[in-house]
Structure 1
Amino acid sequence: MNAKIKLPLKICCPIFVVLVLILSVFLLVRFSFPKNEFELSDSQKVEIYERMIASLREENSDYCGESMNYCKRPETRHIQCGEVLKRDKTYLSSIIEDNRIPLIRNPSLNMSCPEISKRIRPKYNMSSLKLGGVAFARNVFTDYELIEKQVQMTWHPDNRYCFVVDKNAKDDFKRRIEQLVGCFEDQMVMPVTLFMDSAGHNQNLAHTKCMKALLQYPNWGYAMLLQNHDFITKTVYELDRIFDLMGGVIDVKTGGVIWERDMKHLKWDPKSLKLFRNESAVPEDVLKTSLTFACGSVQASLSRETVRWLIETADLTRFIDQQNQIVFGGDEQMISTFQINSQLGIPGHFTKDCLEQGVSVEQVTRLVHWSSTGHANCVTKISRHGVCLFGIEDLIPMAELPHLSFNKVYPKFDWSIIDCAAELVFNRTFLGQDNQHFDEDYYSNLVTVQYHKNHKKPGYKLNCISNQKPRRYEDYIGS
């Protein structure tokens, strides 16, 4: 965990030498690297390096030592997150566009277990969690320093972490994840590496491997299925309370199937899929009824009972194999499909009623802002794979919206938003900063939660459109 500290001269000097050498080498080879949309101009890079050096030179600016406050990276120590939260547009305009601060990757990051532990573990004691902890299953391939930052932001002695690394990832990234996991063997696991891609192939398989591995750890109550650039913005105590309020429901987006992903030529009944490990315990009509498909997201939040059903009651092998035949986006259908097919008996299920009414049901696990009309539709004016990249302009939505995570956050695009959100989470977790926007009623009144609480009651009628005011991302920007 970062905090303001004072380094002795014998430690600072090598840091200055390294930074000066980096700056010198950059100036010598500045024309050697191909341009891309995230590459900074020479003058921008020089300015960032100069800030980093100046930050380390400041008297009483020792880096991440005994201070009990949050400490930003050298690149972003000048960023005044509070001014952004105060909606100071003049200040905000001074730290975006050409002045935006990306991550300057540290190729010499100390990966010894004591140093990793020092960066991750808080100096504060932590209270116990009502649900016994949260398990995080994350598919990863790049940006180690972001992954470590997310572990830092969500760390609790009761939480558990699983990573599946893409086999195409760079060797250095793989080694760093292996080292991270090796330093926390009682809390982390990396069961396998798989070939994964942005089209969704093997994403569900990776999460399944993680779910199975995480079940070896007792006590945790909910699991979050995540991808590389999903950025969690709630404290560990807020996550614990939210999942308690959800009461076991599956949280995932559900909507109609996109026609390109409709694989009707394949058999999708549980019998053909060999979905149940013990078919004798399942009614014959359930085994022979084809599944109704929904399209949603690979990101989801599942209770431990749901995870156990997916791993121990069901056998997902054939289902995932058939989903992998879809050219693009098959991974976005698995959890949504199991959620709405209530006849399967998966714990925390929903119903297909809303889908049949043409009503999509949103999730709180992840917020994504689609660049439906191109870059111009994004506050940051940039997108990836049809999704807007979040930047420092999005700090207020991250601070106030009920969603648990935001996608996509790219370190090489904007580290300011990462450090400011991390500082906010730190202050709310350890320094008593009140989250005035935390609305328990919002989670209690989710359509899926209301269904879960009431669907067995005689005469209950589901209202697919929530009576509470929707929380729209657009309402939190530009004000």
Structure 2
Amino acid sequence: MKRRGLVKQLLLFCLVGFVVTSVYNSIVSQVNELNVEEVTAKSTTKRILNFIPSTRTSPKNKFKINCRKIIEKDKDEIDRATALMRVSPPSRLQNGDYINATQDCVHFRKSFRYDNYPVTNEEREFPIAYSIITYQDVDQTERLLRAIYRPQNLYCIHADASSPDSLHRALAGIADCFGNVFIVSKKEDIIYNHMSRLKADLNCMSDILSMPQKWKYFINLPHQQFPLKTNLELVKILKTYNGANDIEGIITHGRMMPSRFEFSHKYVNGSWKRIGKRTSKLPLNATIVKGSAYGVFSREFVQYTITDKRAKDVLKFMEDVKSPDEYYWATLNHNEVLKAPGRYSGNPEKKPWLAVYASWGGRDRCHGKYVRGVCIFGVGDLNELVSKKELFANKFYPDFQYLALDCLEEYIYNKTFSHLPFETFYYKQLPFIRKQ
């Protein structure tokens, strides 16, 4: 009887092994054979969710909303979540709560689950550096930090110099609980469209370069973004990048908002003044390129940005450009004459930009709402978001459709514990990848 039971167990074990192997091979072969645009968001999402354990929920999911059903676009669950959000305010911690909670760092890290992530050797050997720019809402800033936190990474937090003292104290308390999280050494009083926004990232870059850790890539984030990939997936993607930068580039004249750089601008008494036609030129006859304030930058590119004379000369040119953060990175990355490490020499508009996904009015669908032309994501957007190839999503509001962020947080957290294979075939075909 014992031998017969043992045989049954062995047969069951072999059967399970065969099924798991078959499913794994099926997923890998599908990714290799299909162009990513041909795979629908719905089918991709369902395939992924089948491999993710659903036993862990967001600590903020007090209504026990079924996030899996929402991500699968279950109309009944989306309607239930929407109805609940209309009558129940979001559960949020205030600045004072964080000031008090971080008095006991051991308890803070444990209760907020900072040390509850598996970390592979591959991740340990590929640290990532981040800047997080914020001016309000410690609660959302901390959630972003927690989602991307790993002990081998580095995190520079820049809070607006004019933000309330309680915000600075709360963020300082959080940073003090970690050896790899710190407050930027020089804070800027950030003004919208102003050089101060660009300097905030440059200040973090300078600080991070002075650290002994040998991080590989730098990613700059505002506090309203959230990751679409786990840390391990980010590592695999960035290793595929092989030193190339992921920076947006726009050269079509009408899309570049030319008045911002063809004229000199000055911020006077709370408003922008156009003070005349620009006469100065970029160094080495470089051409200005528009892009995003956010990107994925190789360590060598960051070093170049902070120390190289060519980069400093371009920065000088940007001083009276309106929204210089949307031109500086793009100009450095897409001008061969500037010799920036990890640059792209082709037509920048013919390569995808994957650092951040944002849904712009008139171009993409939005199930949330538009603010200044950008979608604030809602629960109805999650099905498409989780199947995107981009690394981060922008943006989320903590007081609007807040269960969208709760469910995305739960999804990324649970996915970290899954053993779902991650295929980098798509990323290896990107035109900006430096071939080995």
TM range (shorter): 0.7 to 0.9
| Equivalent in the alignment of 2:431 | 447
- Describe the shift of the 1:91–1:320 C-alpha distance in structure 2 as closer, same or farther (beyond 3 A): same
Match of 1:177 among 171, 177, 182: 171
Task: Give 2:85's aligned amino acid.
Answer: N
CA distance in 1 between partners of 2:365 and 2:69 (Å): 25
Is 1:123 aligned to 2:123, yes or no?
no
| Equivalent in the alignment of 1:87 | 73
Aligned CA RMSD, in angstroms, stands at 2.5
CA distance in 2 between partners of 1:304 and 1:231 (Å): 22
CA contact (8 A) 1:137 1:224 kept: yes
CA distance in 2 between partners of 1:385 and 1:197 (Å): 17
| Equivalent in the alignment of 2:234 | 239
CA distance in 2 between partners of 1:191 and 1:370 (Å): 34
CA contact (8 A) 1:102 1:413 kept: no
Match of 2:372 among 375, 385, 397: 385
1:354-384 deviations in Å (ceiling 9; x for gaps): 15xxx353311101111249xx96321x222
How do 1:463-474 residues align onto structure 2 when only pairs under 5 Å count?
none
Q: Say which is worse superposed, 315-324 or 330-339, in terms of deviation.
A: 315-324
Shift of 1:69: 5.8
Q: Which structure has more helix as a fraction of its residues?
A: 2
Match of 2:85 among 99, 102, 111: 99
CA distance in 2 between partners of 1:196 and 1:362 (Å): 29
| Equivalent in the alignment of 1:348 | 342
Task: Give 2:392's aligned amino acid.
Answer: S
SS of match in other structure, 1:193? coil
Task: Give 1:443's aligned amino acid.
Answer: Y
Shift of 1:199: 2.3
- Describe the shift of the 1:120–1:295 C-alpha distance in structure 2 as closer, same or farther (beyond 3 A): farther
CA distance in 1 between partners of 2:335 and 2:374 (Å): 29
Task: Give 1:260's aligned amino acid.
Answer: S
CA distance in 1 between partners of 2:192 and 2:241 (Å): 30
Task: Give 1:114's aligned amino acid.
Answer: V
| Equivalent in the alignment of 1:259 | 258
CA contact (8 A) 1:389 1:408 kept: yes
CA contact (8 A) 1:253 1:360 kept: no
- Describe the shift of the 1:397–1:182 C-alpha distance in structure 2 as closer, same or farther (beyond 3 A): same
Is 1:269 aligned to 2:282, yes or no?
yes
| Equivalent in the alignment of 2:407 | 420
Is 1:211 aligned to 2:205, yes or no?
yes
Match of 1:141 among 135, 156, 174: 135
| Equivalent in the alignment of 1:198 | 192
CA contact (8 A) 2:282 2:288 kept: no
Task: Give 1:386's aligned amino acid.
Answer: G
Match of 1:292 among 287, 290, 293: 287
SS of match in other structure, 1:138? strand
| Equivalent in the alignment of 2:106 | 114
- Describe the shift of the 1:88–1:314 C-alpha distance in structure 2 as closer, same or farther (beyond 3 A): same
User: TM-score normalized by structure 2?
Assistant: 0.75
| Equivalent in the alignment of 1:408 | 395
CA contact (8 A) 2:229 2:391 kept: yes
| Equivalent in the alignment of 1:369 | 359
SS of match in other structure, 2:343? coil
| Equivalent in the alignment of 1:39 | none
Shift of 1:75: 5.3
User: TM-score normalized by structure 1?
Assistant: 0.69
CA contact (8 A) 2:357 2:390 kept: yes
CA contact (8 A) 2:85 2:403 kept: no
CA contact (8 A) 1:229 1:407 kept: yes
CA contact (8 A) 1:135 1:161 kept: yes
1:103-141 deviations in Å (ceiling 9; x for gaps): 333235223223432214233542222652111112111
SS of match in other structure, 2:361? coil
CA distance in 1 between partners of 2:258 and 2:415 (Å): 44
CA contact (8 A) 1:298 1:331 kept: yes
Shift of 1:417: 1.7
Shift of 1:428: 1.6
Paired residues, number: 356
Task: Give 2:366's aligned amino acid.
Answer: C
CA distance in 2 between partners of 1:143 and 1:224 (Å): 21
CA contact (8 A) 2:65 2:77 kept: no
CA distance in 2 between partners of 1:210 and 1:151 (Å): 15
CA contact (8 A) 1:189 1:213 kept: no
1:1-43 deviations in Å (ceiling 9; x for gaps): xxxxxxxxxxxxxxxxxxxxxxxxxxxxxxxxxxxxxxxxxxx
CA contact (8 A) 2:290 2:331 kept: yes
CA contact (8 A) 2:367 2:379 kept: no
CA distance in 2 between partners of 1:206 and 1:315 (Å): 20
Task: Give 2:280's aligned amino acid.
Answer: K
Structure with more contact order per residue of length (Cα contacts < 8 Å, sep ≥ 6): 2
Alignment gaps of 5+ in structure 1:
1-67, 271-288, 455-479
CA contact (8 A) 1:204 1:320 kept: no
CA distance in 1 between partners of 2:286 and 2:385 (Å): 36
1:290-349 deviations in Å (ceiling 9; x for gaps): 22111110111011111111112247555445424233x321111111001122221100
1:40-89 deviations in Å (ceiling 9; x for gaps): xxxxxxxxxxxxxxxxxxxxxxxxxxxx9644345544211011122211
Identity %: 22
